[in-house]
Structure 1
Amino acid sequence: MQNDYERGTGEQRMPSYPPESYGKRFWRLWGPLIIKWGISFAVSLVVIVLYLLAYSSMHYDEIAGIADNQEAMLNFSMSISEEIMKYATQIEGIAALITIPILLFFFYKDRKAEQVKGIMTNKKAPFWKYGAVIAISAAMCVALNNLIIISNLASISDGYEETSTALYSAPLEMQLLCLVVLIPICEELVFRGLMFKRMRERSGFLYAAVYSALVFGLFHGNIVQMVYGFILGMLLAYMYEKYGSVKAPIVGHMVMNLFSVLATEYRFYEWMIKDFMRIGSVTVVCAAVAATMFVLIQRIDEKPEFPKPTDEKENLAAM
């Protein structure tokens, strides 16, 4: 039976996998993300078409009157785009709901392949240890957002302001369903459950974590969320590694988004920024909590438990 650790040394080694062509390797790593992009694009396109049909039926004369005016049509297109952006949260939520079953199929197919090949995987941490995941996720979310506010990083990224406004303009119930439940599950299956895990099959933890976290950061499309996404992407990959289950990064991602949604809804960050000592103190406390939880997570023994040899095999080995 193959295993990821050298017996007796605790040193991890890569399980033996057959060589893959470049095309197959590319699809294994990027295929899930391409599928997610494709479904998001398709859902957005359907929403745009339905919106245009509905708008055209109610404002036919208005559209016919500006059909020959290029500037008017451009302004009309921009106004339609702004209206569609108001439903960005719902659109991404629907896309995630459609994508999740497809990603779960690939994910469980990978786990089945591991069983068939006899590959020993990291132990699953007990449920009670997920308290550290919740605590570090909440603390890191608040600390990083505070640092972004203090550094005024958001001021150099118009895309961040536009994205935040669009996502947090939906009703709170819709934000909780889409941003806190559906989207974290979808993104964690793509970036940790498939991309990181598949990269991990043939490389060390650091390389796989940096690769998936970098793609995760770039995926968000603006400088603020790139930095935020990369740091948290590294943390989420580490959670997966130590807890031996994709449930850990999913829970962590959900907690982060929950705090972001509630903090925005109830103007928590606006309250903190009014007093520099207040925001500084909260940031230091959150950093201390995150560091403490990281140490606790670091102590989790994720190494797989190997089956003990039978007495007969032990006797043969002694001969």
Structure 2
Amino acid sequence: MSLKKNVVATLVTYLIVYLLPVMVNLFFHLGSHIYLVQTLDYIIGAILLAYFYLRTNEQPAIERKLTKGRQVLLWGLLGMIAALVAQMIANFIDLLIFRSVPNSANTATILTIIKSYPFYIVATVIAAPIMEELVFRRTIFGSLAPFTGNVGAALIASVMFAMAHNDGHLLVYTAIGLVFCYLYQKTGRIQTSMISHILMNALVIGISLLR
């Protein structure tokens, strides 16, 4: 698969995965079963996007500098910390300037669902981060970087990432997205930002569930 075909396949598949549970619910009124449908939908979506990634015989320019496995893991761990710090700083700015409540409605909703349907944690901690990194970092950021430069591409991809979460904390999710873009650009490995993203979601959700 060429890089251009990968970009199209990735974006189209992600859009279908993103909209499918809502569309199915409109016709079949799934009720609480929508969370199982969404979990399966996300898992299948993550597998498909990973398959497209593995079948692509071209690489974005960012991936020409490959980092070894141990360094990917190390940067992934450091990236999780950096993303949490970026989130705290962005929350402070949000509160200071926009008077926004630090609590994320998106996170609160996810926690409520997980408490009733524990299997949903697979969608939020593993499947969603894998898809989002392949879409927003590798596909959007990676494709735009040669045309807009790394900074411009990172801003566009991160704002789109924030808008996809749609909970009013645009600055917070943009800041997190910028950290993930940096990790991908720094190591040339999308696995780095995946590790950071998965660990961050797992830590935030895990701590919240233990409260």
Question: Of residues 204, 207, 211 in structure 2, which corresponds to 1:260?
Answer: 204
* Equivalent residues of 1:168, 1:175 under 8 A apart: no
Residue 191 of structure 2 is matched in structure 1 by 247
* Equivalent residues of 1:124, 1:245 under 8 A apart: yes
**Larger RCO: Structure 1 or Structure 2 (Cα < 8 Å, ≥ 6 residues apart)?**
2
Question: Of residues 88, 107, 131 in structure 2, which corresponds to 1:164?
Answer: 107
Residue 185 of structure 1 is matched in structure 2 by 130
Structure 1, unaligned runs of 5 or more:
1-24, 53-82, 268-319
The residue identity in structure 2 corresponding to 1:250 is M
Where do residues 1-319 of structure 1 align in structure 2 (5 Å cutoff)? 32-47=10-25, 49-51=27-29, 84=32, 88=35, 90-110=36-56, 112-114=57-59, 121-129=63-71, 130-138=73-81, 140-141=83-84, 144-145=87-88, 148=91, 151=95, 153-154=100-101, 160-161=104-105, 163-171=106-114, 173-224=118-169, 226-267=170-211
Structure having the higher Rg: 1
Alpha-carbon displacement from aligned partner over 1:243-265 (angstroms, at most 9, x marks no partner) = 11110010010011011101211
Give the CA RMSD over aligned residues: 3.3
Q: How many matched pairs?
A: 201
| Matched position secondary structure for 2:119 | helix
Cα distance in 2 for residues equivalent to 1:124 and 1:132? 13
TM-score normalized with structure 2 length:
0.77
Deviation at 1:233, TM superposition (A): 0.7
> Cα–Cα, structure 1 residues 200 and 106, in superposed 2: closer, same or farther, change >3 Å?
farther
Deviation at 1:92, TM superposition (A): 3.7
Residue 61 of structure 1 is matched in structure 2 by none
The residue identity in structure 1 corresponding to 2:17 is I
The residue identity in structure 1 corresponding to 2:174 is F
* Equivalent residues of 1:97, 1:182 under 8 A apart: yes
* Equivalent residues of 1:30, 1:195 under 8 A apart: no
Residue 311 of structure 1 is matched in structure 2 by none
* Equivalent residues of 1:123, 1:243 under 8 A apart: yes
TM-score normalized with structure 1 length:
0.53
The residue identity in structure 1 corresponding to 2:46 is I
Cα distance in 2 for residues equivalent to 1:133 and 1:221? 25
* Equivalent residues of 1:141, 1:260 under 8 A apart: no
Structure 2, unaligned runs of 5 or more:
none
Q: Relative to total residues, which structure has the larger helix share, 1 or 2?
A: 2
> Cα–Cα, structure 1 residues 192 and 136, in superposed 2: closer, same or farther, change >3 Å?
closer
Deviation at 1:179, TM superposition (A): 1.2
* Equivalent residues of 2:87, 2:173 under 8 A apart: no
